[in-house]
Amino acid sequence: MALTEQALAPADLQDPATFSQGVPHEAFAEMRARPTLSWTPPSGGDRTGFWSVTRHAPVSEVSRDTDLYSSAVGHIQIYDIDEDALSARASMIDLDPPVHTRLRRLVSSAFTPRHVQSYETAVRSRIAARLDALVRAGGGNWVEAVAAPIPIGVICDIMGVPESDHDYMIELTDHLVAGTSSKPLEPTAYGNTTDLRLLPFNSPAAHGINEYARALGERRRAEPADDLVTKLIEAEVDGERLTDAEFTNFFRLMVFAGNETTRASMAHLALLLMDFADQFEQLRSDPSLMDQAVEEVIRYSSPILYFRRTLTRDTVLQDTPLRAGDKVVMWYAAANFDEEVFDEPLRFDVTRPLRPPNTAFGGGGAHFCLGAPLARLELAVLIGAILSRGIDLRLAGDPVYVDSNFVNGIEHLEVEVR
């Protein structure tokens, strides 16, 4: 296909500013309406441009075909990084089956729907404490008071990070996504001695997390506990223990993925409670709608905006010829508003059917969100606790979105509680 015939993406999808007010619905709607994928030419230091997938069906298709659409070839974010940087930071999300499968099985039993039920009591008490404190204060920054501390607390409990270090984990993971924290870091922050280009998000905070993981791992080696860090330290894959880098990369992935994502959906939940109060009234009068309400919050908040795959062979997707080595970007936040799949997609509707599923946890297949059952539990408990307390939120300032084209987060959301 000649370049002139290609449909260029109507917005700069690499510029965080495009996402400064949340999901760019107009641009995505225009892209979904096109017969083919949209193309963005190379910019910055990248050698190649990328294809954007915005419809639900092809996002699902790309997600499920890990042989054709690889996570291990090239980066899973749009920008390219060097081979040594790729291998230095690789965790299971940067790998394909069967290696991915072996690593995932090390932790999967902690996140099955059956197993996450055992976390419910702890989740409930964390949520109660945070909500009660917010009510007593009459309001505050919803993100700092509720959305940030709850998911990190839950995932840290599962990993085995002591309560006294939870704030430090929030601080470190905040730095991983540009703009989640307003404090810029020096390259040597947290004692970093690693070349920044080898670190995830090129952030010295990743070094801080690695060092923390290493120290915690040492403690668990000496004194095992019933937690995931102990499990990872003791785990064997094909008869071999995880290497130091495999272990720290695993730890970092878990605290990041278990934290930023649910945090984003909990932040959006506050906006949804205010914007669509009638829908939550309906849920209050019919609690059997909870599963659907949770999925709708997750669809609407689409915490992870995209992941990229790289073509291993030539193919055709949505009438678009693609070549081996091409970058394909799955915009989950676009597929979640596909008019062909979700009737009146911008309507928040707690009665929306559970099928077909949204793509907020990915489009299905090997990389489907490991923590989905945990995220669903946390959101269901939070929504239930808000409704049962009759908490009535009012916006007390403009929401400040995270400066990122990857995480659809909210950095600051000032609310009053009535």
Partner 1 sequence: MSDDLVRVAVDEERCIGGGQCEMLEPEVFLLDEDEVISSVIGSGELPRPRADVVVHRCPGAAISIVEPQRPSE
- Could you say which residues in the range 369-398 bind partner 1, by CB under 8 A? 370, 372-373
Contacting partner 1 (CB under 8 A), which of 43, 87, 108, 182? Answer: 108
Contacting partner 1 (CB under 8 A), which of 41, 42, 113, 353? Answer: 113
Three-state SS letters, 186-217:
CCCHHHCCCCHHHCHHHCHHHHHHHHHHHHHH
Distance, CA of 232 to CA of 242 (rounded, Å): 7
Q: Which helix (H) or strand (E) holds 139?
A: strand 139-141
Stretch that binds partner 1, among 5-13, 317-325, 358-366, 375-383 (CB under 8 A): 358-366
Q: Where are the beta strands (DSSP E) in 288-369?
A: 306-311, 315-317, 320-322, 327-331
Of 378, 362, 337, nearest to 65 by C-alpha is 362
Asked whether position 364 contacts partner 1 by CB under 8 A, the answer is yes
- Could you say which residues in the range 136-195 bind partner 1, by CB under 8 A? none
Asked whether position 101 contacts partner 1 by CB under 8 A, the answer is yes
Bridge partner list, 395: 415
CA distance from start to end of the chain: 58
Stretch that binds partner 1, among 47-55, 107-115, 309-317, 389-397 (CB under 8 A): 107-115
Contacting partner 1 (CB under 8 A), which of 140, 245, 365, 395? Answer: 365
Distance, CA of 69 to CA of 327 (rounded, Å): 9
Helices then strands (H, E): number in the chain? 17, 14
Asked whether position 64 contacts partner 1 by CB under 8 A, the answer is yes
Closest contact distance (angstroms) between CB of 333 and partner 1 is 20
Stretch that binds partner 1, among 72-80, 185-193, 262-270, 368-376 (CB under 8 A): 368-376
Closest contact distance (angstroms) between CB of 73 and partner 1 is 20
Contacting partner 1 (CB under 8 A), which of 229, 366, 379, 417? Answer: 366
Distance, CA of 58 to CA of 43 (rounded, Å): 25
Between 8 and 354, name the residue whose CB sits nearer to partner 1. 354
Classify burial at 296, counting beta carbons within 10 Å of its beta carbon; exposed 0-12, middle 13-18, buried 19 or more: buried
Between 131 and 253, name the residue whose CB sits nearer to partner 1. 253
Between 38 and 262, name the residue whose CB sits nearer to partner 1. 262
Distance, CA of 166 to CA of 137 (rounded, Å): 22
Contacting partner 1 (CB under 8 A), which of 171, 368, 389, 395? Answer: 368
Three-state SS letters, 279-317:
HHHHHHHCHHHHHHHHHHHHHHHCCECEEEEEECCCEEE
Closest contact distance (angstroms) between CB of 373 and partner 1 is 7
Distance, CA of 351 to CA of 403 (rounded, Å): 32
Stretch that binds partner 1, among 101-109, 139-147, 259-267, 331-339 (CB under 8 A): 101-109
Distance, CA of 329 to CA of 359 (rounded, Å): 13
Q: Contact, 262 vs 375, CB < 8 A? A: yes
Tokens of 216: 């915690």
Between 148 and 366, name the residue whose CB sits nearer to partner 1. 366
Contacting partner 1 (CB under 8 A), which of 3, 45, 47, 114? Answer: 114
Of 366, 309, 331, nearest to 55 by C-alpha is 331
Closest contact distance (angstroms) between CB of 322 and partner 1 is 21
Stretch that binds partner 1, among 30-38, 169-177, 195-203, 360-368 (CB under 8 A): 360-368
Contacts of residue 223, Cβ cutoff 8 Å, sequence gap at least 6: none
Between 325 and 364, name the residue whose CB sits nearer to partner 1. 364
Asked whether position 41 contacts partner 1 by CB under 8 A, the answer is no
Between 42 and 113, name the residue whose CB sits nearer to partner 1. 113
Between 99 and 135, name the residue whose CB sits nearer to partner 1. 99
Contacts of residue 400, Cβ cutoff 8 Å, sequence gap at least 6: 410, 411, 412, 413
Bridge partner list, 309: 328
Stretch that binds partner 1, among 98-106, 142-150, 322-330, 390-398 (CB under 8 A): 98-106
Between 134 and 372, name the residue whose CB sits nearer to partner 1. 372
Closest contact distance (angstroms) between CB of 114 and partner 1 is 6
Q: Contact, 42 vs 322, CB < 8 A? A: no
Closest contact distance (angstroms) between CB of 394 and partner 1 is 38
Distance, CA of 303 to CA of 266 (rounded, Å): 10
Q: Which residue has the tokens 């909870």?
A: 290
Between 16 and 364, name the residue whose CB sits nearer to partner 1. 364
Residues near partner 1, by CB under 8 A: 64, 97-98, 101, 104-105, 108-109, 111-115, 355, 357, 364-366, 368, 370, 372-373
